[in-house]
Homo-oligomer: A and B are copies of this chain.
């Protein structure tokens, strides 16, 4: 499907070169010390397609903290595990609020707006904690399977840093528990959640691991069924309306792909029937999305004509 790999590779390099000096238009996250240490000049893009090809440029084989991108994988695991029961406990509407707002949660009696805001991802973490005997291992194993790579690891330094700065997530979790919407003990839920956020992966691994969402639930390389076509559809829909925090609407408006970002600076975008694009650059804009990562996606989507909205 990538008809001319050399050509795409050249394109990626040109696009990256153009962004080289823009790293100071954003700020590396500092909400946890471990992430604040990352070099702001790191930059990468990788395109993986459902025919099994992949092309990368920049630091696309360097692992970074996937952070909120892990929410996509957690969601798929939970959907697989408990089916539609999940949607009794979390909604699928865009939030219209900054990503970690507690206000919405209070209004809506402990039901998170969707599974890719923090409250929703904590709820998903509760599902996993309650339904797997060793949810952290299961999660890591799921990632390794999807990326076809057993070297994927949990960055313990990041994990420890998360743990000691997790008061806001604790507040969200206790609030949901007070509404009866959390089953496990909060420390266990938080521990699972921070573990999955602390996984380190490369752009290439991330792009590969999400190909099933572009391919109706089937890993195009191993032919393994990862989820139902319906659930692949649903995840793409949720990422389209809610994947880029409170910039999701603008991202749809100007780029037009289901996507998820993380405060580690990574962004993944699903192109149905085509493949997955993953970009990385640590400096974030005011919405918590990678400045350069978003720019790269916009340029690539435009050049390759990949939007789902026309």
Which A residues fall within an 8 A CB radius of B?
91-97, 101-104, 106-107, 113-114, 167-168, 170-175, 177-178, 186, 216, 229, 232-234, 236-238, 240-242, 246-250, 252-254, 256, 258, 272-273, 307-310
Question: Which 8 A/B pairs are nearest by Cβ-Cβ distance?
Answer: A96-B96, A94-B94, A93-B249, A168-B178, A167-B178, A171-B174, A171-B175, A237-B252
Residue of B nearest to A234 (CB): B253
Cβ-neighbour of A252 out of B95, B102, B104, B241 (below 8 A): B241
Q: A171-B173, A237-B252 are in contact. List 19 more A-B contacts (CB 8 A).
A: A92-B253, A93-B96, A94-B94, A94-B95, A94-B248, A103-B106, A103-B107, A114-B249, A170-B174, A171-B171, A232-B310, A236-B310, A237-B249, A238-B252, A238-B253, A241-B248, A272-B310, A273-B310, A308-B308
**Alpha-carbon distance between A229 and B246 when the two chains are bound, in angstroms:** 25
Which B residues are in CB contact (< 8 Å) with A104? Answer: 96
**Alpha-carbon distance between A236 and B307 when the two chains are bound, in angstroms:** 11
Residue contact B92 to A250, C-beta cutoff 8 Å: yes
Interface centre among A114, A175, A273 (most CB of B within 10 A): A175
**Alpha-carbon distance between A287 and B101 when the two chains are bound, in angstroms:** 23
Interface centre among A101, A171, A272 (most CB of B within 10 A): A171
**Alpha-carbon distance between A123 and B201 when the two chains are bound, in angstroms:** 41
- A292 smallest CB distance to B (angstroms): 22
Residue contact A174 to B168, C-beta cutoff 8 Å: yes
**Alpha-carbon distance between A34 and B252 when the two chains are bound, in angstroms:** 37
**Alpha-carbon distance between A106 and B254 when the two chains are bound, in angstroms:** 26
**Alpha-carbon distance between A168 and B181 when the two chains are bound, in angstroms:** 12
**Alpha-carbon distance between A174 and B186 when the two chains are bound, in angstroms:** 12
Please list 21 pairs of residues, one from A and one from B, whose beta carbons are closer than 8 Å in the complex, sorted by A's number.
A92-B250, A92-B252, A93-B249, A94-B94, A94-B242, A95-B96, A96-B104, A101-B106, A102-B103, A167-B177, A168-B175, A170-B170, A171-B173, A233-B307, A234-B253, A237-B256, A238-B249, A238-B252, A238-B253, A240-B252, A308-B308
Residue contact A248 to B93, C-beta cutoff 8 Å: yes
* Copies of the chain in the assembly: 4
Residue contact A310 to B233, C-beta cutoff 8 Å: yes
Residue contact A106 to B114, C-beta cutoff 8 Å: no
Which B residues are in CB contact (< 8 Å) with A307? Answer: 233
Residue of B nearest to A250 (CB): B92
**Alpha-carbon distance between A97 and B113 when the two chains are bound, in angstroms:** 11
Which B residues are in CB contact (< 8 Å) with A96? Answer: 93-97, 104, 113
**Alpha-carbon distance between A232 and B307 when the two chains are bound, in angstroms:** 12
**Alpha-carbon distance between A273 and B305 when the two chains are bound, in angstroms:** 13
Residue of B nearest to A170 (CB): B174
A95-B96, A102-B175, A309-B308 known; A249-B241 Cβ under 8 A = yes
**Alpha-carbon distance between A102 and B94 when the two chains are bound, in angstroms:** 18
Residue contact A92 to B175, C-beta cutoff 8 Å: no
